[in-house]
Amino acid sequence: MTLPKGFGSGGGGGSSSADVERMIGKRVENMTGMITISFLAAWGATFGGTAAGYFYYPWAYPTPSGHFAFIVLTIIEAIGYIFCVKVMQEGSNKNSNGVVAATVGFVAAATIAITLTVGH
């Protein structure tokens, strides 16, 4: 990896994690909470978008279509969340499997509950 001038070991081209940490300013493997909050906010926004169809425009946005969109978007967001956390912690000693499992489990249960109750 080529680093900007002033980082790294002279012209050798090698970089250490300390150099990358100095460039970024904060280690990314400590940002699991921020990514989790962002995922939950995105999921809430997804529900908000489909809720507009459920409650304000039911004639133009049928309930089964809203449920399908909500479920598919939730699955895509959950895959992205898992991918972000796992890539962020690759090569470190951090392990956030419990946080990821609890978050995805909560979202899955809430998605099922919303789908079974809203519009019926």
What is the average pLDDT score of the chain?
Answer: 84
How much is the CA Rg of the chain, to the nearest whole Å?
20
Q: Is the pLDDT of residue 67 over 60?
A: yes
Which residues contact residue 2 at a Cβ distance below 8 angstroms, ignoring those fewer than 6 apart? Answer: 13
pLDDT at 3: 58
- The mean pLDDT value for 37-60 works out to 91
pLDDT at 26: 61
Q: Predicted confidence band at 8 (pLDDT cuts at 50, 70, 90)? A: low
- Percent of the chain past pLDDT 90, that is, above it, reads 47
Mean pLDDT of 57-69: 87
Q: Does the pLDDT of residue 14 top 60, yes or no?
A: no
Nearest Cα neighbor of 43 from 85, 79, 94, 84 is 79
- C-alpha span between 102 and 111 (Å, rounded): 14
What is the Cα–Cα distance from 77 to 59, expressed in whole angstroms? 27
Provide the pLDDT confidence category of residue 10 given band limits of 50, 70 and 90: low
Q: d(Cα 24, Cα 12) in Å, to the nearest integer?
A: 21
Give residue-wise pLDDT tens across range 84-111: 998 888 877 778 889 999 999 999 999 9
| Alpha carbon separation from 87 to 34, 38, 43, 48 (Å, rounded) | 15, 16, 20, 29
Reported confidence tier of residue 9, pLDDT bands at 50, 70, 90: low
